[in-house]
Structure 1
Amino acid sequence: MRQAARIRPGEPASPGSLRRILGGAAGVVLSLALLTGAVQGWRWLTDPGTLPIREVRVLGEFRHLSPARMEQGVADRATGGFFGIDVEGIRKVLLDEPWVREVSVRRVWPDTLQVTVLEQVPVARWGEHALVNDAGELFRPDPATIPRRLVRLEGPRGSERELLARMRYLESLLRPLGLALAELEMDRRGAWSFRLAQGPLVMVGRGDFEARTARLARIWTRVLRPRAAEIERIDLRYANGLAVRYRQGGQALSLRDPRPSRGEC
């Protein structure tokens, strides 16, 4: 069995041992030098004075957002230099604006920050203080910026997508009749009602939504159109017909669907 050579006190080290000791010491010194250089280099790169951001570009199609205000807001936060700037922090700040649906922030060499913004596209109002986008998602901008021309939806929390789907169905049903939807509501019991832009309130009830509204379309074309301006309310909660209340004198009229759909109740 081979035994490791031992160096006794006062005995000179062999050339091989000396080389190993010097090599190890050189490796430690080199590692420390590289680490120090890396730290100093990183400090230099992240120093705000190194490659400062000189230009902010905001890209997108805007109707409710101001690109100039967004550029100024980003420029005020772009203080970390090209490598040190907090890109994710800027993105989160921009997403706090209710009219911003999505945003990406990226560096463009050597001194530019490019911000691409996707603005919310509202398709309906939700109550009086919120909006619904085309994915059925709620957002709450400044009330002064809410477009009042949009259909107003109202329903229990979590029913936004269902109301949006019913709104689209009704709009496609009413448009050929020359009618427009103004409001659509589902109450806590699941009963539906809507108001036409022309004024009448339509009570649908809890069941057979499509069958009942299709019945309205058939009877409207044949019977109701001539006196449309006088109608106050239409009640579809009947088996094979509907009831109409007129504004003048509160006159009521019951009408039977001449072609009821099979399975209606």
Structure 2
Amino acid sequence: MKKSQSPLVGSQRRRYQQRRAVRSNTFRRFRTAFAQEHGLPPVGNGPYRIAADSSRQGGLLLRLSKTGILAGLLAVLLAMLVLRGWQLLEQSDAFRVRQITVQGCRTLREEQLLAWAELRQGVPLLKLRLPEAEQRLRQQPWIEQASIRRVWPDSLVVDVKERRPLALIKLEDQPELRYVDQNGMVFAVVEPGQDLDFPVITGISQADGPQIFSLADKGAAEAAQFLRLVAQGNPLLPLQALSEIHVSRDKGIIAYLAERPFPIYIGYGNIKTRYYQLVRLLERLYRKEKIEHVREIRMDYQAGRILVASLAP
């Protein structure tokens, strides 16, 4: 059987092979230049390329492993240096507390407040756990807010906001008087020698309640609202002019003036409106000198109307 011949013979075949060799060399140079330009490993051929790639990958992994170990050792060394430096700073006399400034004390004594916070001079400034000291202060009944900050290199500033009493309260099932603040919070038992020049809220029960609690009862909450309005300081009805605010379940709020024996039945609801109505009524009674003859004032008698009962002449 005759062997088929290529259509390219003689000089045509040689020219074809030369052009193919030129194209192969050109393509090889292009791949090499492209790899160098983009940081790629050199391109080989056949099994040699596979072996070269494997060798390069093994070397890269070895370099990465060495780098990772070195970085880990440096991190451990740095952590040890930081820890040792912190310990030296804690023990240094240059950073011990030498001065403590207390701000915001009106009722409490500074010594008592520092004892609650467990703060004293001479302790290392860096060892203090200030959030825990602040929390110990906030647990005290008289303290509404507390913050402590370091002032480098050797000072502390303690800033507190005390609760401001608005009234006293006598709970029906407890013998002692307690303070009520501006927000209607019952917060502390009155101790001997403390200020008693406040109106007294009566008619409220709170058996076995917490030391600090809010006046959630409707009547008690409205009594606190009425007292906040009185505390604004109108000269016709100052806070010192009130002696008692009684909360009755049936009749609502009943106010008693310190120098006048008659009751003022304020009732429930519309506390702000009734307060201003009472101020205007007292202004007329004082101006006309009729306050001495009043037996009672009823603001719960009829909506929009006030009944003033007078003593018999």
Q: TM-score, normalised by structure 2?
A: 0.59
CA RMSD of aligned residues (A): 4.1
Residue aligning to 1:143: 191
Choose the corresponding residue for 1:92, options 135, 156, 161: 135
CA contact (8 A) 1:181 1:196 kept: yes
**How far, CA to CA, are the matches of 1:202 and 1:33 in structure 2?**
80
How much has 1:25 moved relative to structure 2? 3.7
**In structure 1, what residue type is equivalent to 2:224?**
L
1:206 is aligned to 267
Q: How does 1:225-236 map to 2 (within 5 A)?
A: 225-227=291-293, 233-236=295-298
Q: What are the within-5 Å matches in structure 2 for residues 12-161 of structure 1?
A: 22-46=66-90, 51-62=95-106, 64-71=107-114, 74=117, 76=119, 81-127=124-170, 129-144=177-192, 146-154=194-202, 156=204, 157-159=215-217, 161=221
Q: Calculate percent identity across the aligned residue pairs.
A: 21
Distance (Å, rounded) in 2 between the aligned partners of 1:186 and 1:59: 37
Q: Say if 2:244 is the partner of 1:183.
A: yes
Corresponding letter in the other structure for 1:151: P
SS of the residue 1:97 aligns to: coil
Rounded to whole Å, the distance in 2 between the matches of 1:92 and 1:86 is: 10
Report how far residue 140 of structure 1 moved: 1.0
TM superposition shift of 1:202: 1.0
- Alpha-carbon contact 1:171-1:181 (below 8 Å) kept: no
Per-residue displacement from partner, 1:81-119 (whole Å, max 9, x unpaired)? 222211111112222332223221000111111112222
Pick one of 247, 257, 280 that aligns with 1:196.
257
Offset at 1:204?
1.2
Secondary structure at the aligned position of 2:179 is classed as strand
Question: How many residue pairs are counted as aligned between the two chains?
Answer: 236
* 1:193 positional shift: 0.9
What is the rounded CA distance, in whole Å, between the counterparts of 1:190 and 1:78 in structure 2? 57
For the 8 Å contact 2:94–2:153, the answer to whether it is kept is no
* Counterpart amino acid of residue 224 in structure 1: K
**Structure 2 CA distance, aligned partners of 1:173 and 1:25?**
74
Instruction: Look up the SS of the partner of 2:183 in the other structure.
Output: coil
What stretches of structure 1 of length at least 5 have no aligned partner?
A: 7-12, 246-252, 255-265
- 3-state DSSP of counterpart to 2:54: coil
Identify the residue that residue 307 of structure 2 maps to in structure 1.
Answer: 241
1:164 to 221, 224, 239: 224
- What letter matches 1:182 in structure 2? S
Q: Is the 8 A contact 2:169 2:200 kept in 1?
A: yes
Check conservation: 1:184, 1:193, Cα contact below 8 A.
yes
Secondary structure of the 1:90 match is: helix
Q: Give 5+ residue unaligned stretches, structure 2.
A: 1-48, 171-175, 205-214
Provide the C-alpha distance between the structure 2 equivalents of 1:176 and 1:67, rounded to a whole number of angstroms.
Answer: 37
TM-score normalised by length of structure 1: 0.67
Residues 241-260 of structure 1: matches in 2 within 5 Å? 241-244=307-310, 253=312
Q: Is the 2:230–2:237 contact (alpha carbons within 8 Å) kept by the matching residues of 1?
A: no
Instruction: Assess, with a 3 A threshold, how the Cα gap between structure 1 residues 22 and 95 changes in structure 2: closer, same or farther.
Output: closer
Residue identity opposite 1:85 in structure 2: L
Contact 1:193 1:202 in 2 (8 A): yes
Q: What corresponds to 1:263 in structure 2?
A: none
